[in-house]
C-alpha cells in the first residue's frame, strides 16, 4: 500500500499557517478517499508566536525543535513521519514537502502519487507567489514569463516530492539554513533517480520579500519586485 508523509517546517508563521493547514486538509482528504494513508507532520522550529496553538486546531502531528535551520526542521519532520508509517516499505512511501506560508491545491498529493506510480522518484512542482502580495505590474510580468504546461524544473521546497527509498539513499535533507531542497535533488539525480517537473499541482506561496531564510523564494520575489518598485 502506498503511504504519504507530508512534512511542513514552521518558524513563526501565525499569520499564514492556518491557510496552509486548511489547504492541506483538503488535499489529504482527496488522497485518503482513494485509499492512501497520509501522515502530516509539522515541525515547529524555534517558534515564539502562536504557530503551535494554530497547529493544535488541526489533525496533524507536531514536532518541536530549536534548530532555526529549515534543513534540520525538514529532516526531523521526515524522520518522525517515516517512523509513524512503519513498517511500510520505503519504496512505497512518498514524501511530499511544502512550506508553512504556502497553500497547496486539492490535487497536490493525488497528482504526485500518479507520477510516482508512473515511475517518478522525484517531482519538482511549480510555485507562484500570492498575487495579492505583488504590484499589478509585477503580476503582469509574472503571467507573461510563466507559461502553463512548460515548467522550468526549478527546485522548491514548497512543492517537492520524493520517493522514500530515494530520499534515504540520497542521505535525506541536510541540516543547513537553506538550499536543503536543492542539495537533496542533486544527490537524487546523482543516484540516477527519475526526476519529473510538473505544473499541474502548482502551489501558491507568500509573495513576501523577507522570508525565513537568508535566500530562498522570498529573495527571488524581492529581486524581481525591485523592477516594479
> How many folded domains does the chain comprise?
1
Average pLDDT along the chain: 93
Stated pTM of the model: 0.92
Condensed to tens digits (0 to 9), the pLDDT of residues 53-99 reads 999 999 999 999 999 999 999 999 999 999 999 999 999 999 999 99
* Cα 104 to Cα 119: distance, rounded to the nearest angstrom: 23
Cell of 176: 543547513
Look at residue 208 and tell me whether its pLDDT is greater than 90: no
In angstroms, rounded to a whole number, what is the distance separating the alpha carbons of residues 219 and 175? 20
**Could you give the 3-state DSSP secondary structure of residue 76?**
helix
229: its cell numbers: 518598485
Nearest to 181 by CA among 156, 215, 206: 156
- In this prediction, residue 207 carries a pLDDT of 81
CA distances from 64 to 52, 96, 146, 195, 198 (A): 9, 19, 37, 31, 32
pLDDT at residue number 226: 60
What CATH number does the domain containing 16 carry? 3.90.550.10
Report the pLDDT value the prediction gives residue 81, as an integer from 0 to 100: 98
Query: Is pLDDT above 60 for 47?
Result: yes
> Residue 134's pLDDT is what?
87
Give the tens place of pLDDT for each residue, 90-103. 999 999 999 999 99
- Of 17-21, 34-38, 122-126, 135-139, least confident by mean pLDDT is 135-139
pLDDT at 138: 87
Q: How many helices (H) and strands (E) does the chain have?
A: 8, 8
- The DSSP 8-state label assigned to residue 213 in this structure reads S
Alpha helices in the chain (DSSP H): 17-32, 51-55, 70-85, 108-117, 136-145, 164-169, 180-190, 216-225
Domain extent for 103: 3-228
Amino acid at each position: 500500500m502506498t503511504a504519504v508523509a507530508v512534512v511542513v517546517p514552521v518558524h513563526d508563521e501565525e499569520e499564514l499557517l492556518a491557510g496552509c493547514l486548511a489547504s492541506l486538509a483538503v488535499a489529504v482528504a482527496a488522497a485518503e478517499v482513494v485509499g492512501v494513508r497520509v501522515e502530516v507532520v509539522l515541525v515547529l522550529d524555534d517558534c515564539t508566536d502562536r504557530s503551535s496553538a494554530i497547529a493544535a486546531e488541526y489533525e496533524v502531528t507536531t514536532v518541536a525543535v530549536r534548530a532555526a535551520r529549515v534543513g534540520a526542521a525538514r529532516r526531523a519532520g521526515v524522520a518522525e513521519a517515516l517512523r509513524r508509517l512503519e513498517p511500510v516499505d520505503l519504496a512505497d512511501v512518498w514524501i511530499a514537502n511544502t512550506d508553512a506560508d504556502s497553500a497547496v491545491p486539492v490535487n497536490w498529493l493525488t497528482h504526485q502519487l500518479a507520477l510516482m506510480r508512473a515511475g517518478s522518484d522525484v517531482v519538482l512542482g511549480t510555485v507562484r507567489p500570492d498575487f495579492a502580495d505583488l504590484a499589478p505590474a509585477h503580476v503582469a510580468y509574472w503571467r507573461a514569463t510563466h507559461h502553463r504546461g512548460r515548467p522550468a524544473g526549478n527546485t522548491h521546497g514548497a512543492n517537492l516530492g520524493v520517493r522514500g527509498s530515494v530520499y534515504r539513499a540520497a542521505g535525506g535533507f541536510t541540516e543547513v539554513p537553506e538550499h536543503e531542497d536543492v542539495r537533496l535533488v542533486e544527490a537524487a539525480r546523482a543516484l540516477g533517480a527519475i526526476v519529473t517537473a510538473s505544473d499541474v499541482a502548482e502551489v501558491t506561496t507568500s509573495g513576501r520579500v523577507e522570508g525565513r531564510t537568508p535566500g530562498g523564494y522570498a529573495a527571488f520575489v524581492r529581486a524581481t519586485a525591485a523592477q516594479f518598485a
